């Protein structure tokens, strides 16, 4: 046993996790850009390879997740009253998160003064492009060829087609089941494919940061640090004021609730994966007094439709890159109306990515590629990729917190929340209550027998 433990401990020293590899790549890239700027400026091809691989994921992943989200649940009428309440709650809270992020990033403006570095010829072509007006964007949403839209990575057109396609699949009932199963398999394949590409991430991150530092110097780190601080501040405000208000309205016992979500919250923060904390969170919510059927429905659904932390992050990161684009491209402006259109797109495309670390970067790149001049979105995503892990920890744990609260809200709304269990959570009285309920269940079983 001691030998096995020693071998495990020794393995941890040389077998770095992907998170540590990305941070190592980030540090090496910063040092290379600072100490060898001429050499580092030539590493853009490594960054471009990585971004090309990421772009290849966009179309199939967005299509599959949207079809699953709409058609996978079957007829919405069969979901019933609880499903309608849950979806209404999810959309209200995530919309608030989206606009809170939009407000914070427009007030602090962490992207101002950043110049995105790319091929001079490409940037020259970018300068000739102008952002679409609101009417032009709405017309552009509807594709004449979905194949062309997927080839270009036009996320708005892919979303529009996917929604209509999913509605058609739902309308034909059981005959559409093979399509849903195909999309479920496709989504799993693309998530696995994303995992393969992420193995190349340390090199892509290191090269991207080396190129950025070689061109702009170390002062660029202050802007990136401001983005991280802004996100954490926005998430704290969201938890305290938005989720706190929800707790008061739903009469949620706050101290016992925080005790119940503490362990899964920390697990999600450390692993940056909501999926890893899901079993523990579901167990905790059942112990907290939420009926098992409500936990079993609301919690998984929340991981597709209630991504509070992710939507807030996407709002801030997308506008951050747009602010940098205004500095990079002469004459380029990104109006508030265009920001609203981008937020609407993010509300749809962000569904269903919580279970996969850094999958939100794919959604961010897809959306930016649609709304910003060609090439700018990819350069912006490459720049923030190295610090994404720090932001992923915060947004993933807030996703989990929001989904745990959602189960309590729906249970209260349905009139099935057990206040007694909530009050005794984590105390010796909880064991006594379990014993009493077990004895009652045995007595009822004996009568029926």
Q: What is the mean pLDDT of residues 343-357?
A: 66
Residue 233 to residue 222: CA distance in whole angstroms: 16
Residue 302 to residue 315: CA distance in whole angstroms: 19
Could you read off the pLDDT of 41-82 as tens digits, one per residue?
Answer: 888 788 778 777 877 877 787 788 778 766 765 545 544 577
Residue 19 to residue 212: CA distance in whole angstroms: 21
Structure-token match 């709409």, residue found: 70
Most confident of 192-206, 234-248, 282-296, 329-343: 234-248
- Contact, 303 vs 93, CB < 8 A? no
Could you read off the pLDDT of 237-256 as tens digits, one per residue?
Answer: 999 999 999 999 999 999 99
Percent of the chain with pLDDT over 70: 77
365 φ, ψ to 5°?
A: -65, -40
Q: Residue 426's closest CA among 287, 304, 326, 265?
A: 287
Evaluate if residue 409 carries a pLDDT over 70. yes
Check residue 401 and give its pLDDT.
Answer: 94
Evaluate if residue 336 carries a pLDDT over 90. no
Q: Classify residue 129 by its DSSP letter.
A: -
Evaluate if residue 10 carries a pLDDT over 50. no
Q: What is the mean pLDDT of residues 340-367?
A: 71
**Which domains are seen in the chain, by residue range?**
18-429 (1.10.3860)
Evaluate if residue 441 carries a pLDDT over 60. no
pLDDT band at 268; cut points 50, 70, 90:
confident
- Contact, 315 vs 101, CB < 8 A? yes
Check residue 348 and give its pLDDT.
Answer: 74
pLDDT band at 444; cut points 50, 70, 90:
low
Evaluate if residue 445 carries a pLDDT over 60. no
Check residue 101 and give its pLDDT.
Answer: 92
Q: Classify residue 142 by its DSSP letter.
A: S
Evaluate if residue 435 carries a pLDDT over 50. yes
| Alpha carbon separation from 311 to 88, 92, 111, 347, 406 (Å, rounded) | 16, 12, 18, 7, 16
Residue 98 to residue 318: CA distance in whole angstroms: 11
pTM attached to this predicted model:
0.67
- Contact, 275 vs 355, CB < 8 A? yes
Could you read off the pLDDT of 117-176 as tens digits, one per residue?
Answer: 654 444 433 333 344 455 665 777 788 888 888 887 666 678 778 878 888 888 888 888
- Contact, 89 vs 409, CB < 8 A? yes
Q: Residue 340's closest CA among 149, 98, 89?
A: 98
Q: Which residues contact 71 (CB under 8 A, 6 or more apart)?
A: 166, 167, 169, 170, 176, 179, 180, 183
> At CA 404, angle to CA 401 and CA 410, rounded to 5?
135
Evaluate if residue 449 carries a pLDDT over 60. no
Check residue 406 and give its pLDDT.
Answer: 94
DSSP readout, 415-449?
A: T---HHHHHHTTSHHHHHHHHHHHHHHHHHHHHH-
- Contact, 19 vs 389, CB < 8 A? yes
Residue 129 to residue 125: CA distance in whole angstroms: 7
How many other CB atoms are found less than 10 A from the CB of residue 182? 12
Residue 51 to residue 361: CA distance in whole angstroms: 11
Which is it for the CA torsion 88, 93, 97, 99, positive or negative?
positive
């Amino acid at each position: 046993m001691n030998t096995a433990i020693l071998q495990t401990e020794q393995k941890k020293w040389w077998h770095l996790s992907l998170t540590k590899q990305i941070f190592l790549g980030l540090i090496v890239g910063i040092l290379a850009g600072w100490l060898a700027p001429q050499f580092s400026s030539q590493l853009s091809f490594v960054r471009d390879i990585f971004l090309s691989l990421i772009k290849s994921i966009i179309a199939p992943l967005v299509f599959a997740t949207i079809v699953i989200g709409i058609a996978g649940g079957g007829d919405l009428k069969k979901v019933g009253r609880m499903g309608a309440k849950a979806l209404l709650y999810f959309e209200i809270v995530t919309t608030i998160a989206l606009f809170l992020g939009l407000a914070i990033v427009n007030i602090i403006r962490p992207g101002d003064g950043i110049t995105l570095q790319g091929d001079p010829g490409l940037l020259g072509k970018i300068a000739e492009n102008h952002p679409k007006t609101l009417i032009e964007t709405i017309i552009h949403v509807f594709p004449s060829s979905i194949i062309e839209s997927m080839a270009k990575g036009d996320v708005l057109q892919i979303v529009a087609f996917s929604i209509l396609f999913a509605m058609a699949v739902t309308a034909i009932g059981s005959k559409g089941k093979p399509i849903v199963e195909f999309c479920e398999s496709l989504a799993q394949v693309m998530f696995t494919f994303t995992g393969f590409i992420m193995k190349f991430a340390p090199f892509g991150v290191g090269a991207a940061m080396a190129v950025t530092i070689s061109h702009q110097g170390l002062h660029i780190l202050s802007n990136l640090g401001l983005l991280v601080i802004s996100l954490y501040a926005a998430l704290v405000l969201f938890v305290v004021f938005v989720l706190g208000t929800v707790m008061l309205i739903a009469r949620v016992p706050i101290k016992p609730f925080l005790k119940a979500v503490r362990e899964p919250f920390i697990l999600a923060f450390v692993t940056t994966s909501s999926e890893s904390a899901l079993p523990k969170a579901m167990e905790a919510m059942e112990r907290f007094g939420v009926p098992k059927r409500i936990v079993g429905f609301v919690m998984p659904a929340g991981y597709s439709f209630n991504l509070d932390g992710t939507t807030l992050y996407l709002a801030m990161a997308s506008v951050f890159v747009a602010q940098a684009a205004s500095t990079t491209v002469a004459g380029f402006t990104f109006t508030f109306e265009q920001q609203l259109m981008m937020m609407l797109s993010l509300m749809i495309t962000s569904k269903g990515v919580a279970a996969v670390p850094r999958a939100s970067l794919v959604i961010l790149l897809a959306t930016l590629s649609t709304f910003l001049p060609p090439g700018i979105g990819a350069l912006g995503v490459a720049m923030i990729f190295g610090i994404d892990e720090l932001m992923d920890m915060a947004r993933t744990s807030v996703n989990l917190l929001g989904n745990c609260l959602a189960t309590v809200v729906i249970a209260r709304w349905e009139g099935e929340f057990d206040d007694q269990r909530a009050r005794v959570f984590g105390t010796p009285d909880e064991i006594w209550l379990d014993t009493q309920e077990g004895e009652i269940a045995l007595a009822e079983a004996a009568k029926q027998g």
